[in-house]
Chain A
Amino acid sequence: MDDMIKVFVIDRDEKRHALDAPTDMNMNMMELCKSYELPVEGTCGGMAMCASCHMYVQSSHDISERSEDEEDMLDEAFFVEENSRLGCQIKLTSDLDGLEVKLAPVGE
């Protein structure tokens, strides 16, 4: 199908999940992970306000820069790296086919 891409998510037990992701539903990575019941909280519902969908982008896809809001919220995340992103700020588009992310560790 034209409107589907494949993305890969490595969970906190190092298990790699291949997910079919629609690109025509205005979805983001946080929502996609939740719909596959992967352990992503997404407390705030995707407004870059809670840092509970922190993930690392492992593939070399060109994703839009972090916004100032996203930077601010990453301050409340742990083990933030150069490739850290909030899943809710990664919009699923056709050029992200093959994207690979790893879920960041969470606190208690």
Chain B
Amino acid sequence: MIQTDILIIGAGPCGLFTVFEAGLLKMRCHLIDSLPHPGGQCTEIYPKKPIYDIPAYPSILAGELTERLMEQIEPFSPGFTLGERAEIVEKDEDGQFVLTTNRGTKHRAPIIAIAAGLGCFEPRKPPIENLALYEDKGVEYIIKDPEFYRDKKVVISGGGDSALDWTIFLAEGVASAVTLVHRRPSFRGHPDSVQKVMDLAEAGKINLITNAEVVGVSGDGNLNALDVKHKSEGIMSIATDHWVPLFGLSPKLGPISEWNLNISKNAIEVDTFDYSTNVPGIYAIGDINTYPGKLKLILCGFHEATLMVQSAYKRIFPDKNLVLKYTTVTGKPGL
């Protein structure tokens, strides 16, 4: 069990800065993120994008902002649980929250701060009728263990590196048949991988179908066929044991939606006095929250984090008088 003062869900800029503001008040923080690295969207989606509205930085790359924040919070030694999704929140007999991740890691804290941005990144699923019926019955969005596909017929969809890499891997003596379906003749993956896939297709080791897209799934309990729509040749049926659509990741609110929080338009409603949710002890800051006049800006998230930790402090230490100290007077008073 990991014990801390403030358990922060989401290690994006807003979650990271919370560590600093909490640290000034001598509160310890632990961050949980479903991605394997800190930074949230800033590192996952646009690390090379310049941001122009961070005060005192006329321009800073999103990746660099993350690095700077990590440097700024380093003195406060935050803990990290990365690559795990916050799944279940319960309260124990002492009134503390116990949070369990999808991998079973348990965390305990009197305060939870949700700084989860747009939610956790999950595979993007095609809008195909009855697709859900075949999930884990032939349709998989992630290849966990390639051995699972040994001597099976596999269809992969997508045009990026993961689609190319798995096509190559499964074609080399693992699957009995590999088909790659892609919407256009060119691929955005690494040129080496693209060449390898072209060579495999030339040699008849894979079935490469471009200018096409999977539009239907069918089976008898388990998946056994796909409808593939070709731009000029119409719809054809392909017999298969597995379909692996690899269309990248997109953020989803996920398990947070089941924590009895008031939610409106995929965001958590908060009181702007201290960014508290309807559940006492749980706060929501940054892009994940909503209130009248809300702006989804990193800048605003920093402000929300700062006010939130003041309120959190009063919850944890109701008898102590809090005096805001300016960092210019005492340096970092938490140290």
Interface residues of B, Cβ cutoff 8 Å to A: 41, 45-46, 49, 118, 124-127, 132, 158-160, 182-184, 186-188, 213, 215, 247-248, 250-251
Closest to A106 in B: B127
Q: Please determine whether A52 and B184 come into contact, CB atoms closer than 8 angstroms.
A: no
Contact sample, A vs B, 20 pairs, CB 8 Å cutoff: A43-B45, A43-B250, A44-B41, A44-B46, A45-B46, A49-B46, A51-B248, A75-B158, A75-B182, A76-B160, A76-B247, A77-B247, A78-B126, A78-B213, A78-B247, A79-B127, A80-B213, A107-B125, A108-B125, A108-B132
Across the interface, which residues of B come within 8 angstroms of A74, CB to CB? 183
3 tightest Cβ-Cβ pairs between the two chains A and B = A72-B188, A75-B159, A76-B248
CB distance from B234 to the nearest CB of A (A): 15
Across the interface, which residues of A come within 8 angstroms of B45, CB to CB? 43-44, 49-50
Q: Which residues of chain A (60-89) have a CB below 8 Å from chain B?
A: 71-72, 74-80
Across the interface, which residues of B come within 8 angstroms of A44, CB to CB? 41, 45-46
CB distance from A13 to the nearest CB of B (A): 14
Across the interface, which residues of B come within 8 angstroms of A105, CB to CB? 127
Interface residues of A, Cβ cutoff 8 Å to B: 41, 43-45, 47, 49-52, 71-72, 74-80, 105-108
Q: Please determine whether A107 and B127 come into contact, CB atoms closer than 8 angstroms.
A: yes
Interface centre among A52, A75, A105, A108 (most CB of B within 10 A): A75
CB distance from A51 to the nearest CB of B (A): 7
Across the interface, which residues of A come within 8 angstroms of B49, CB to CB? 47
CB distance from B315 to the nearest CB of A (A): 33
Q: Please determine whether A78 and B127 come into contact, CB atoms closer than 8 angstroms.
A: yes
